[in-house]
Each structure stands twice: as structure tokens, then as C-alpha cells.
């Protein structure tokens, strides 16, 4: 027997352990020299998107000229008359566009305006976690974004839809050198996607069934569900029926 | 002498392998490869669990503190109800909310209201605190009194 050689279980285990160790060492060495490789970035991005959407009202920039003076008007009502002007790709393009009348959506946020902002001395008018019905309805409405005065695309064309998602990602805090996929939805506490104004509140790519996906949730209320209380009622409409979840997936 | 597996692919007809051990080792290798190819079956949802819990607490307090045009909030209304001895309404409202969060998020929650540093009211699905809980608090000035409202959350 000894003269013919054997493969023992010890040998197989040794080879197996060596292969695992070698794979780990290879993976570790490669990742150690690759800069900025981390899975934390998608988690932080999911958190940031959820924060912007729930705590911010968005930003609409209007540039104009009043006599000899150039004007810049910053407003939160992007959902009212917001357009996308391709001559302004980012804030640093604003000086170049001065002198021409331009309006563009610079950031999307869903937070409602405070019901008592007229009494506030603070400049901040957004109410965290209280979402504005119109903002919600338009944010999740792909047809609204497909309008020629905005991104001007065919929502039924998958490639154009993907391009739109890339553009939209810049408006919700996912812009940068890396391209992220996202899925954003508003769900009730039973897990069902809610509808606002006939629009199903889900936008983005389908969430993959495997792989590294970051998820962050915020508890929110849409103003239409509590409007009676906010406009002078008892003010205690926060309950299991009115509270919803804003769910953000990033990968 | 254990049984030999002759003519296996390891030995090209000359070597031998101990059958039982070889089968076990092969099964382990095969299972490892299958596991590695299929892992993970479900999306990995990250490790920001503590921050997520903390934000649940913050959000609940934010929602309970939304002011209406008469400057009332859900919190101040609840404090009035509790002060007037009508805890039943607050009990059912918060407990239902807490129960819904437990069903949807597997999160246990509890609200505590302190008046002048002494516990005035508590309610929710979270009965026992543990080191993995997260909490958030807010100080409410209402009718000349200082109240501290704490929301505590914990994964099941």
C-alpha cells in the first residue's frame, strides 16, 4: 500500500485549508491596496438619501436679471414650477448662467412646510418626517419627470428610463463619481406600497435578490392623512394608521 | 485496514483513498463550494442597525412634535390627557403604534414621560431594557411645567 501512494483525509483537509487561506490572503492583499473600497458607502448613501427626502423640502433655483442686477432666487417649491435646465448641470454652473432666465431643480426633498412658519423667526421652514402630498405625488410620478420641460424622455423605453434614474440620483444626494442603483418607496406599516393621488409611491430599479444592498428607513406621515389636525384640530393624528415608512435601498 | 477505493480519479488506477474519509471530505468541499456560490440568498441590509434604531426614536419624537396651527402637538395633547387622568386614549394610541412597528420592523418601542425628573407615564411593547436599545429624548415646556419625553427602541 505504502509503495502505491494514498490520499488521506488529512491531505484533503490540508489542501482545502490552504486553498481557503490563499484565497483570503489574495482577496485581502488586493483590497488593502485598492483605495476607498468599502461597503460602508452604500449604507451611508442610503442614510443620506432617506435624510434628504424626509427632512428637506428640496431646492429650486431661478436665475434672472432685474435691470442691471442679476438675481438668484432659491425656493423650496420644486414641485410647483420646477423644471430641469440642462445648461445648469450643477451649482458651480450658476454663475455662467446668470443673465439668462433659468429655472432648475437643484435638489428634491419631500418635507412639508411648517404649519406655523409665519410665527417662526427661523429661516428653516421644513418639518422633518411630515411629507407634502404634492411633492410625494410628483416625485414618484415618472410621467411628471418625463415632461419635455424636465428630463424629456420616454418612460416606456427601458434605456431612457435608466438614464432618467441616473439623472434623478443626482437630485436626491447620490451624485458623485460612483454610480448607485436605488429603489425608494413609501409603505404603510403592513408593508404595502401606498398610493398618493393615484400614483404608486415606488421609484427606481427593482431590488436585487442577492448581493450587498443597503437599506434605511424613516418613519413619516403624509400631510393629507393628518390635515384636519394640522389645520386646527386637536393635533393628535399621529397613530398606527397615519404613520408610514419611507424605505430607501441603495446598491 | 479500512476499505480502499481503487481506480478513483485521484490515483489513475494506482493509488488508493480511504473511502469514508474521502466521501466526508468531498462532501465538505462540495458543500462549501455550493454555499459560497449561493451566498447570500437575501440582500445584506448592512450594519447600521443602531443608527436605524436611533432614527426610529428620533422620527417618532419628530412626528409626535409636529405643531398644528394652534401650536398644539400630539405630545402636548397626550400630556394633557395624562394630567387629566385620561390615560386610556394615550394607552391605546401608542400601544397600537408600537404594536404595528413590532409587526413591520421587529422593533420593540416604549415611551416614557417624566415630569420634574420623576416618571409620570410609560407605555409600549418594550418591557425590559437591554444594552442594545437606542433612545432619544425631547424636553417639552407645557403649561409652565417641564416634561421630558423619552422613546426607547430595541430589536426583538
- The Cα–Cα gap between A53 and A125 comes to 15
Q: Which helix (H) or strand (E) holds A239?
A: none
Q: Mean pLDDT score of chain B, rounded to an integer?
A: 81
DSSP per residue, A42-59? HHHHHHHHHHHHHH--EE
Q: Which of the two residues, A164 and A95, has the higher pLDDT score?
A: A164
Which alpha helices (DSSP H) does chain B contain, by range?
19-38, 49-64, 74-83, 87-105
Residue in B121, B116, B119, B112 with CA at minimum distance from that of residue B147: B116
Output b/e per residue, A66-75; b: 16+ Cβ within 10 A: eeeeeeeeee
According to the model, what pLDDT value does residue A206 have? Answer: 93
Residue to mutate among A56, A188, A219, with most B CBs inside 10 A, is: A219
Provide the pLDDT confidence category of residue A100 given band limits of 50, 70 and 90: low
According to the model, what pLDDT value does residue B44 have? Answer: 47
pTM: 0.74
According to the model, what pLDDT value does residue B79 have? Answer: 92
The burial of A138, by beta-carbon neighbours within 10 Å (0-12 exposed, 13-18 middle, 19 or more buried), is given as buried
- The Cα–Cα gap between B37 and B42 comes to 13
pLDDT digits (tens, 9 = 90+) for A2-35: 556 666 778 888 888 889 888 888 877 766 665 5
How close is the nearest chain B Cα to the Cα of A98, in Å?
A: 39
Provide the pLDDT confidence category of residue A224 given band limits of 50, 70 and 90: confident
Whether residue A174 has pLDDT greater than 90:
no
pLDDT digits (tens, 9 = 90+) for A38-59: 555 888 899 999 999 999 888 8
pLDDT digits (tens, 9 = 90+) for A118-155: 554 444 578 889 998 999 999 999 998 898 878 888 99
How close is the nearest chain A Cα to the Cα of B144, in Å?
A: 20
Cβ separation A115–B68 shorter than 8 A: yes
Residue pair A104/A83 in contact by the 8 Å Cβ criterion: yes
According to the model, what pLDDT value does residue A29 have? Answer: 73
Whether residue A96 has pLDDT greater than 60:
no
Cis omega (within 30 of 0) on the bond before A127?
Answer: no
According to the model, what pLDDT value does residue B43 have? Answer: 46
Residue pair B137/B149 in contact by the 8 Å Cβ criterion: yes
Residue pair B61/B151 in contact by the 8 Å Cβ criterion: yes
Amino acid at each position: 500500500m505504502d509503495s502505491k501512494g494514498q490520499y488521506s483525509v488529512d491531505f484533503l483537509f490540508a489542501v482545502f485549508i490552504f486553498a481557503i487561506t490563499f484565497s483570503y490572503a489574495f482577496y485581502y492583499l488586493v483590497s488593502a491596496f485598492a483605495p476607498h473600497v468599502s461597503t460602508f458607502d452604500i449604507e451611508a448613501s442610503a442614510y443620506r438619501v432617506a435624510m434628504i427626502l424626509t427632512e428637506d423640502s428640496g431646492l429650486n433655483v431661478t436665475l434672472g436679471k432685474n435691470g442691471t442686477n442679476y438675481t438668484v432666487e432659491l425656493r423650496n417649491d420644486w414641485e410647483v414650477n420646477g423644471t430641469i435646465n440642462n445648461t445648469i448641470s450643477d451649482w458651480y454652473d450658476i454663475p455662467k448662467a446668470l443673465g439668462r432666465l433659468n429655472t432648475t431643480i437643484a435638489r428634491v426633498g419631500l418635507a412639508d412646510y411648517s404649519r406655523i412658519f409665519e410665527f417662526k423667526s427661523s429661516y428653516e421652514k421644513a418639518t422633518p418626517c411630515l411629507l407634502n402630498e404634492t411633492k410625494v405625488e410628483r416625485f414618484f410620478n415618472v410621467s411628471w419627470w418625463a415632461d419635455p420641460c424636465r428630463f424629456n424622455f420616454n418612460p416606456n423605453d427601458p434605456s431612457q428610463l435608466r438614464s432618467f434614474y441616473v439623472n434623478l440620483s443626482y437630485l436626491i444626494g447620490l451624485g458623485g463619481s460612483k454610480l448607485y442603483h436605488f429603489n425608494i418607496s413609501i409603505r404603510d406599516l403592513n408593508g404595502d406600497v401606498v398610493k398618493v393621488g393615484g400614483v404608486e409611491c415606488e421609484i427606481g430599479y427593482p431590488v436585487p435578490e442577492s448581493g450587498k444592498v443597503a437599506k434605511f428607513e424613516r418613519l413619516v406621515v403624509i400631510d393629507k392623512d393628518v390635515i384636519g389636525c394640522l389645520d386646527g384640530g386637536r393635533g393628535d393624528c399621529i397613530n398606527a394608521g397615519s404613520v408610514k415608512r419611507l424605505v430607501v435601498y441603495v446598491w | 485496514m479500512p476499505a480502499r477505493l481503487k481506480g478513483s480519479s485521484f490515483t489513475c488506477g494506482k493509488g488508493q483513498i480511504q473511502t469514508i474519509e474521502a466521501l466526508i471530505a468531498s462532501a465538505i468541499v462540495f458543500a462549501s463550494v455550493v454555499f459560497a456560490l449561493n451566498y447570500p440568498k437575501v440582500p445584506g441590509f448592512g450594519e447600521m442597525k443602531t443608527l436605524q434604531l436611533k432614527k426610529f426614536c428620533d422620527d417618532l419624537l419628530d412626528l409626535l412634535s409636529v405643531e398644528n396651527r394652534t401650536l398644539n402637538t400630539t405630545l402636548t395633547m397626550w400630556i394633557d390627557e395624562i394630567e387629566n387622568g385620561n390615560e386610556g386614549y394615550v394607552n391605546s394610541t401608542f400601544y397600537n403604534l408600537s404594536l404595528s412597528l413590532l409587526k413591520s420592523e421587529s422593533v420593540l418601542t416604549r415611551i416614557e414621560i417624566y415630569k420634574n425628573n420623576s416618571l409620570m407615564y410609560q407605555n409600549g411593547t418594550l418591557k425590559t431594557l437591554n444594552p442594545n436599545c437606542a433612545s432619544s429624548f425631547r424636553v417639552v415646556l407645557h403649561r409652565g411645567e417641564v416634561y421630558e419625553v423619552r422613546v426607547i427602541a430595541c430589536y426583538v
